[in-house]
Chain A
């Protein structure tokens, strides 16, 4: 047998006959040509069954021509890298392509699941909802897994998608969606006017409807005119043409999403799919229209297809969708299709025009007739024709054929118009849902606006291009719109069905006319509810071909005008967008920001275990040979308390505050007074929110009369910066204060421990480190380890401690020089875990305690707030709710059993029996304290300060653990602070 028995001897403007391609379908080797789609290749090879349907496993063939295809669902690739749920009409044939029809086992030709189809009559709409309800627990265990296997789409790939996907953003004056005659005319007009234009079309070649059927523009062939126009556009610097690119979404502020199947080019580095985010001042929607089906028994059989598609396969690919055709429809397009097919070599058995008057002498016409039933089971073998006026005594005419081409009129693609929140109107006479008022800066043109004649499309497109250019600030372009002798309106009366039997509305989800009527009988009135109940239009085609039929059927069934029934909401995407394309840049390398301190390379080389602190990574601890995590952390703590340690505090937020009113401003921002600080001295500062809760804390240092340097916590750095900027810009714009974020400029390391003074004195020989010359909370500019630095004497660990800050470019040098100098001092690097242990031992709060609900008094910091002074949040502290008795207060918990360890998420309870009861409070921070030799915690406990000395239980309802603990003051270690003095 010939390799391509259904390929015409000549013709096909999309294919290159000099380049044959081999491909596999369902394990059979086939042949096509460069430029073929998988659908045209399969049709040329005589493969009629391409997939099986979703519910009944009925054979499905190719119905459409492009993205509207409802039936020919395939998967490509093999096993773990399979790509499911693709439309055969959209896949470009490539040498070695492997494709499989979906929903079938072992193959589409012999599918065991088809037995379901024979039981079809017992599977009406809502069958699943009604049948698989009881007992409820069977749903997960039994019904759902079985139904999933039977119904559903292609297999999911198990391996990561190795292909490359990309995204790009673009700004344009005018985005034209659709490159048919209207879109190309619009792009031409706008581009000639000087607008920056993007023209996107979903096909491999611009031309829209002219790809499927010849037309005349000006004096020449329509496609030749399109090619010339595209050539002109391509040469213009202000135009970008996107082929294989579907405008899939229309979002707020004229942001349009374009999915470009860029992989078709196969140039190196080209992504499989590229998503374009186009911010367009104006959009022209020239998305065309979709041909509607006719409803008759067996209208889902392979061999029944859209008439324009059948013509299109002949015209674009030189492929005959059958040898002997019956063409049936309700509009003039059937005659052109018939002549096109005849010219390509298809024998025309009959042309059935549902209208009584129409006819053509050169064709075997059957005016006033339509298809009542398609004959054949696995594929069409014939058709029964019948009068449409229902005159009595009429007998059906039986005609042998292997192709039934149906033309039910056109549905404008109003999707983008409605995504932009444009309104729709229903033209009763023409049976068209049309764009009404646009919802964004856009206009619809051509078939998308209900203009089906070529001349009208060109005129509307041109006018839309002119208007879009004008609206984006450009002059009127030179020249006149192109003209075409084709001025036949092509309107079709609303006509849908005849006869009885299984008439399919939605080929992908197996929704029949009877299903829609059943839904109406069961009380469904809203088109949205019917969609969800029957699944009509819920397939990957989103009802492009079936939606109008379903709408009319429902309206008839409930006796309501179509205009009042309305359409379902069209949501993005217009056509499916690969998940991998959406994920591009959001997964894998370079996805997340990771902030590193200047000493990060050292920590990594040292083998530090890192922990995340916001976007930062910080050394959690430095593992030690032969020690587990707790032992290593405890060793770091002991060595700091006994000697000297160093910790990277480069992640703290740092703010430079200057200006005449700097001190006054900080007095307002902090709950405690700052203005009384002397230059060269610092103070712990507490920031409140307006509602009185603790917002952030840090150290404020006065470098000069009008110059401060303050730190924030790592976590609240951005929020604190924003808070201050907000106050300066909106609340007190009259204050002359400049708060500049210098966090990125400064690296900082803290030396802590009784040995820190000696080490600092050694590395900063010019600095007098004596307690008298450099007291607690003093700041000095000094040269440390040969580097300019600021040194603050302050303590977080409870030990004598200095924080040394240097510009981050010198951060690593500072760090390594300190470590080198510290070798003889036994300097120990420690991480955030040891730092945390030491601050818990000292009862310092962090955001675990200042959790947005606690007041200064709750945290034992009430004395810091100046009662009579104005500052942010001060007045809220007088609210009764914030000063009432019974609030939770910060306390310490000392676990009595030294072997016990506190699990995360513990409550503080009066009993240990885990019975439900309101807890007294909860643990906010916990650790094993090597200094005390037991587990300790900070906790917020109801009336906590009055409970000191009581025994309570630290309980973890999740793990079932409870342990006795004594409530103690939150400072576990050196409460007198003698160690701070060194």
Chain B
């Protein structure tokens, strides 16, 4: 990474100054998730060589079912988005190491790995009414029986498209396109009033 890059990083929600507004306990807590790096992994799911390369690079099998998520060590995930598309995401502190391992495993074979770390803003929604808040704006079934912790789904929520990752029964991470993040936050706060939403510390 070039010099001055770390202090150059600015979240799409920075203008909201969430830190100064944090506090209070509500039925839902809203907050920006910890910064993550993300990569689009493309490739043929039905090609054993590709699946093997992914497994070699990540130490985890390629998730094949819709909504499936493979956990790769410390808070790194490989989320299936479609028949030939996955999202590899890890804490920013990983500094591209996981992606580099995967890239070298894929080298020479089929597939592509594209850095999209700036493409999404991660918003954390948690609390007893977290699912109720999301249900004001999305058509997917959020019942834990249908969408258990550990699963992910790409859907429309409110005014944006989001990748919804359920971390626990009452905790979600929403990966929303960066340019939509501010207005999606506004939407969350407006609908969150019903649940006495507060900004997480």
Structural contact, A196 and B143, CB atoms closer than 8 A: yes
**Contact for A744 among B118, B189, B190, B193, CB less than 8 A:** B118
Across the interface, which residues of A come within 8 angstroms of B10, CB to CB? Answer: 598, 809-813
Structural contact, A590 and B2, CB atoms closer than 8 A: no
**Contact for A810 among B5, B115, B186, CB less than 8 A:** B5
- Cβ of A898 within 8 Å of any chain B Cβ, yes or no, is no
Structural contact, A590 and B118, CB atoms closer than 8 A: no
Contacting residues of chain A (599-617) with chain B, CB-CB under 8 angstroms: 600-601, 615-616
Contacting residues of chain B (176-201) with chain A, CB-CB under 8 angstroms: 177-180, 182-184, 186-191, 193-196
Structural contact, B114 and A168, CB atoms closer than 8 A: no
Structural contact, B158 and A597, CB atoms closer than 8 A: no
Write the nearest CB–CB distance from A879 to chain B, whole angstroms. Answer: 35
Inter-chain CA distance A768–B44, complex, in Å, is 40
**Contact for B5 among A270, A615, A746, A786, CB less than 8 A:** A786
Inter-chain CA distance A616–B177, complex, in Å, is 13
Write the nearest CB–CB distance from B117 to chain A, whole angstroms. Answer: 6
Do A744 and B183 contact each other (CB < 8 Å), given the known contacts A585-B137, A808-B178?
no
Structural contact, A164 and B183, CB atoms closer than 8 A: no
Structural contact, B8 and A786, CB atoms closer than 8 A: yes
The residue on A at minimum CB distance from B134 is A169
Taken residue by residue from 132 to 155, chain B's Cβ proximity to chain A (1 for < 8 Å, 0 otherwise) reads as: 100111110101011000000000
Across the interface, which residues of A come within 8 angstroms of B189, CB to CB? Answer: 589-590
The residue on B at minimum CB distance from A238 is B145
- Cβ of A144 within 8 Å of any chain B Cβ, yes or no, is no
The residue on A at minimum CB distance from B117 is A807
- Cβ of B42 within 8 Å of any chain A Cβ, yes or no, is yes
**Contact for B183 among A166, A594, A658, CB less than 8 A:** A594
Structural contact, B179 and A590, CB atoms closer than 8 A: no
Question: Which of B11-19, B51-59, B62-70 has 4 or more CB atoms under 8 Å from chain A?
Answer: B11-19
Inter-chain CA distance A169–B158, complex, in Å, is 12
Structural contact, A744 and B5, CB atoms closer than 8 A: no
Inter-chain CA distance A893–B120, complex, in Å, is 44
Contacting residues of chain A (345-395) with chain B, CB-CB under 8 angstroms: none
**Contact for B112 among A166, A168, A594, A738, CB less than 8 A:** A738
Structural contact, A268 and B15, CB atoms closer than 8 A: no
Structural contact, A658 and B136, CB atoms closer than 8 A: no
Size of the chain B interface, CB-CB below 8 angstroms: 59
Across the interface, which residues of B come within 8 angstroms of A615, CB to CB? Answer: 180
**Contact for B118 among A600, A658, A786, A810, CB less than 8 A:** A810
Structural contact, A601 and B5, CB atoms closer than 8 A: no
Structural contact, A738 and B141, CB atoms closer than 8 A: no
Taken residue by residue from 153 to 172, chain A's Cβ proximity to chain B (1 for < 8 Å, 0 otherwise) reads as: 00000000000101111110
The residue on B at minimum CB distance from A738 is B42
The residue on B at minimum CB distance from A270 is B194
Structural contact, B118 and A745, CB atoms closer than 8 A: yes
The residue on B at minimum CB distance from A650 is B179
Inter-chain CA distance A616–B179, complex, in Å, is 8
- Cβ of B4 within 8 Å of any chain A Cβ, yes or no, is yes
With most chain A CB atoms within 10 A of its CB, the pick from B1, B135, B139, B178 is: B178
- Cβ of B105 within 8 Å of any chain A Cβ, yes or no, is no
Do A171 and B193 contact each other (CB < 8 Å), given the known contacts A738-B84, A745-B117?
no
Inter-chain CA distance A277–B142, complex, in Å, is 13
Write the nearest CB–CB distance from B49 to chain A, whole angstroms. Answer: 13
Structural contact, A590 and B112, CB atoms closer than 8 A: no
The residue on B at minimum CB distance from A594 is B183
Across the interface, which residues of A come within 8 angstroms of B14, CB to CB? Answer: 601
Across the interface, which residues of B come within 8 angstroms of A170, CB to CB? Answer: 135
Across the interface, which residues of A come within 8 angstroms of B44, CB to CB? Answer: 736
Across the interface, which residues of A come within 8 angstroms of B141, CB to CB? Answer: 171, 279
Across the interface, which residues of B come within 8 angstroms of A81, CB to CB? Answer: none
Across the interface, which residues of B come within 8 angstroms of A595, CB to CB? Answer: 179-180, 183
Structural contact, B143 and A745, CB atoms closer than 8 A: no
- Cβ of B76 within 8 Å of any chain A Cβ, yes or no, is no
The residue on B at minimum CB distance from A605 is B15
With most chain A CB atoms within 10 A of its CB, the pick from B5, B135, B179 is: B179
The residue on B at minimum CB distance from A747 is B118
Do A268 and B182 contact each other (CB < 8 Å), given the known contacts A745-B118, A813-B10?
no
- Cβ of A880 within 8 Å of any chain B Cβ, yes or no, is no
Inter-chain CA distance A731–B110, complex, in Å, is 20
Across the interface, which residues of B come within 8 angstroms of A596, CB to CB? Answer: 12, 179, 182-183
Inter-chain CA distance A592–B160, complex, in Å, is 9
Give the B-binding residues of A (Cβ under 8 A).
Answer: 164, 166-171, 196, 268-271, 277, 279, 585, 588-598, 600-601, 615-616, 656, 658-660, 736, 738, 740, 742-747, 783, 785-788, 807-814
Q: Other than the known A745-B116, A745-B119, what 13 A-B pairs have Cβ atoms closer than 8 Å? A: A169-B139, A279-B139, A279-B141, A589-B190, A590-B186, A595-B180, A598-B12, A600-B15, A601-B15, A736-B44, A744-B177, A785-B4, A810-B9
Q: List 11 A-B contacts (CB under 8 A).
A: A169-B136, A590-B183, A594-B182, A596-B12, A658-B112, A740-B85, A742-B40, A787-B8, A807-B118, A809-B10, A809-B178
